[in-house]
C-alpha cells in the first residue's frame, strides 16, 4: 500500500522534499507526519478536502476536532470578513471578546470566569501554573495516554519536552492505582490534570468511577482538578463535565470553540481566576498579543451562537453514536478484531481482540493493521488521522456516513485473512 501511495502522490512528495530543506523533516506540527511522507492538502470545502495531486476525500478528520464547522462555513466566513473590515490588530480590548467569554461561561457549568489563549497547549500550561500558585505546591498528577499539548504529553511515556513540573504519571481508568498514588503524593499535589475522555490517546472514555475518584481525591487533598476539555467540550452542550455531572475546579478549552481559528481558553472557579484580576495588588500576569485577536473572537462567537447551538451539539453526537454503532456491528458481522471507540462525534478505530477500555488495551493492537487501514481508507476517498481517529464535522451528512460504512465493509472483506 505504501508503494501505491507514493505512486499516486508525486506532488505531495515534491512539496515534502522542498519542505525538508527548510523545516526538520519538512514538519512544523509533529502530529501531521507519517511515513513515507504526509499528504499535502491543497484545499477544503464543506466536508471535503483535495490534496496537492487533485484527489478528493471526505474529511472525517475534521482537523482533530477544530474543524467542527467544516471548511469555510458561510456564517464563520461572514463573521471573519466583518472583523477584517474593521482592522485586525487593534491593540485594545475589542467589541467581541467579552461576548465570546459570556458564551463560554454560560455554556460550561464549572467555568465562572475565563481567559483566552492561542492554543490548547497554552491553556493547559496556564491552568497548571495557576494551580501551582494557588496551592503553593509543585506536583501534578497526569495519566499515561493523556495529551495536553506539545509540552504536556504522555502518549508513549513522558516526553523530554514536558514542562518542568514534578509529574506523577498514573494509569487512566485505574481507580486502585490512582488511590495508591493519591495516598503517597496527595498532600503535595497542586493539580490533577485529566481528559474526561482520552482524545489523542484513542477516544477512550473515562469511567465515572475513575473521574469521580479524581474529583473526591482532589478535594480531599486540597489539589485542583483540571479537566482538559480541549477535545471533549463538543460532547455535550456543556462539555463532558456536564454530561458526567462532575465539575472540575479549572477547565481548559480549545479547537472548535474559536470557530476554527487559533484558540485556547482556561477558566473555572471565580476565586481562582480572580488571581488574574489586574485591579488587584500582586495580580498574576497572563499576557499574549493574540489572546483576544478579533478574528478568533468573531469566528468563535458566530460559531457558538449561530451554528453549534445546544440542539446542534446533541444532533451531531447522535450522528456519531449511530455511526459508531453501525461500524461496530459490521466488525462483529465479519468477525474482525476491530473496535470503534469513543463518545458522540469522536471515534477511533482499534485493531484489538479485547475491548478497549484503557490505553494499555489500545497499545496492544497491531500497529501494522492501523497503517493498512489508514492507507486503504485514503484509497477509498476517506481522510482520517494516521492514528485512525475521526472527528465528525457538522458538514458530514447521511451520505458521507453511508460512504464510510461501505468503505469500512469493503476493507473488512478485502483484508479478511488479516483481521480474524
Does the protein bind ligand PMP through residue 63 (CB under 6 A)? no
Name the one range near ligand PMP by CB under 6 A: 104-112, 146-154, 300-308, 391-399. Answer: 146-154
Q: 196 near 206, Cβ under 8 Å?
A: yes
Instruction: Copy the grid coordinates of residue 265.
Output: 481558553
145/367 Cα distance (integer angstroms):
16
Nearest to 231 by CA among 223, 239, 219: 239
The SS3 assignment for 172 reads coil
* Residue closest to ligand PMP, measured at CB: 120
Does the protein bind ligand PMP through residue 125 (CB under 6 A)? no
Does the protein bind ligand PMP through residue 62 (CB under 6 A)? no
Q: 229 near 252, Cβ under 8 Å?
A: yes
Does the protein bind ligand PMP through residue 124 (CB under 6 A)? yes
Name the one range near ligand PMP by CB under 6 A: 52-60, 143-151, 233-241, 282-290. Answer: 143-151
159/393 Cα distance (integer angstroms):
31
Q: Which of residues 151-190 bind ligand PMP (CB under 6 A)?
A: none
Nearest to 152 by CA among 281, 297, 254: 254
- Residues 264-303: x/- map of binding to ligand PMP (CB under 6 A)? x---------------------------------------
Nearer to ligand PMP by C-beta: 120 or 170?
A: 120
Number of residues that this document lists for the chain? 420
Q: 346 near 389, Cβ under 8 Å?
A: yes
Q: 51 near 9, Cβ under 8 Å?
A: yes
Nearest to 144 by CA among 163, 122, 169: 169
Nearer to ligand PMP by C-beta: 5 or 256?
A: 256
Q: What are phi and psi of 228, to 5 degrees?
A: -85, 100
CB of 104 to ligand PMP, least distance (A): 16
Does the protein bind ligand PMP through residue 343 (CB under 6 A)? no
Does the protein bind ligand PMP through residue 233 (CB under 6 A)? no
CB of 148 to ligand PMP, least distance (A): 5
Nearer to ligand PMP by C-beta: 163 or 274?
A: 163
For ligand PMP, the binding residues (CB under 6 A) are 64, 119-121, 124, 147-149, 195, 199-200, 228, 230-231, 254, 264
Amino acid at each position: 500500500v505504501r508503494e501505491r501511495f507514493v505512486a499516486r502522490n508525486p506532488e505531495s512528495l515534491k512539496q515534502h522534499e522542498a519542505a525538508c530543506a527548510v523545516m526538520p523533516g519538512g514538519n512544523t506540527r509533529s502530529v501531521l507526519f507519517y511515513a513515507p511522507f504526509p499528504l499535502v492538502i491543497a484545499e477544503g470545502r464543506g466536508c471535503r478536502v483535495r490534496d496537492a495531486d487533485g484527489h478528493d476525500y471526505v474529511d472525517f478528520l475534521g482537523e482533530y476536532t477544530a474543524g467542527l464547522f467544516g471548511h469555510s462555513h458561510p456564517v464563520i466566513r461572514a463573521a471573519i470578513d466583518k472583523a477584517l473590515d474593521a482592522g485586525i490588530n487593534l491593540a485594545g480590548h475589542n467589541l467581541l471578546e467579552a461576548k465570546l467569554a459570556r458564551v463560554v461561561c454560560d455554556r460550561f457549568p464549572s467555568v465562572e470566569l475565563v481567559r483566552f489563549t492561542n492554543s490548547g497547549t497554552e491553556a493547559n500550561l496556564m491552568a497548571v501554573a495557576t494551580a501551582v500558585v494557588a496551592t503553593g505546591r509543585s506536583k501534578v498528577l497526569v495519566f499515561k495516554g493523556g495529551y495536553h499539548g506539545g509540552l504536556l504529553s504522555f502518549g508513549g511515556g513522558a516526553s523530554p519536552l514536558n514542562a518542568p513540573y514534578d509529574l506523577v504519571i498514573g494509569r487512566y481508568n485505574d481507580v486502585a492505582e490512582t488511590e495508591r498514588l493519591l495516598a503517597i503524593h496527595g498532600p503535595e499535589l497542586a493539580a490533577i490534570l485529566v481528559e474526561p475522555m482520552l482524545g489523542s490517546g484513542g477516544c477512550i472514555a473515562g469511567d465515572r468511577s475513575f473521574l469521580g475518584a479524581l474529583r473526591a481525591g482532589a478535594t480531599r487533598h486540597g489539589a485542583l482538578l483540571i479537566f482538559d476539555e480541549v477535545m471533549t467540550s463538543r460532547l455535550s452542550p456543556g462539555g463532558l463535565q456536564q454530561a458526567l455531572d462532575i465539575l472540575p475546579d479549572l477547565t481548559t478549552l480549545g479547537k472548535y470553540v474559536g470557530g476554527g481559528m487559533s484558540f485556547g481558553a482556561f477558566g473555572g472557579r471565580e476565586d481562582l481566576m480572580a488571581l488574574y484580576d489586574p485591579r488587584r495588588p500582586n495580580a498574576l500576569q497572563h499576557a499574549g498579543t493574540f489572546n483576544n485577536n478579533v478574528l478568533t473572537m468573531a469566528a468563535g462567537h458566530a460559531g457558538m451562537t449561530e451554528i453549534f447551538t445546544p440542539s446542534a451539539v446533541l444532533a451531531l453526537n447522535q450522528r456519531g453514536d449511530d455511526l459508531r454503532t453501525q461500524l461496530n456491528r459490521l466488525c462483529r458481522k465479519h468477525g474482525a478484531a476491530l473496535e470503534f471507540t469513543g463518545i458522540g462525534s469522536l471515534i477511533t478505530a482499534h485493531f484489538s481482540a479485547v475491548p478497549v477500555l484503557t490505553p494499555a488495551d489500545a497499545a496492544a493492537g497491531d500497529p501494522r493493521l492501523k497503517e493498512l487501514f489508514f492507507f486503504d481508507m485514503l484509497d477509498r476517498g476517506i481522510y482520517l488521522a494516521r492514528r485512525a481517529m475521526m472527528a465528525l464535522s457538522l458538514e458530514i451528512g447521511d451520505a458521507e456516513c453511508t460512504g464510510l460504512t461501505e468503505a469500512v465493509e469493503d476493507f473488512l472483506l478485502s483484508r479478511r485473512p488479516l483481521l480474524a
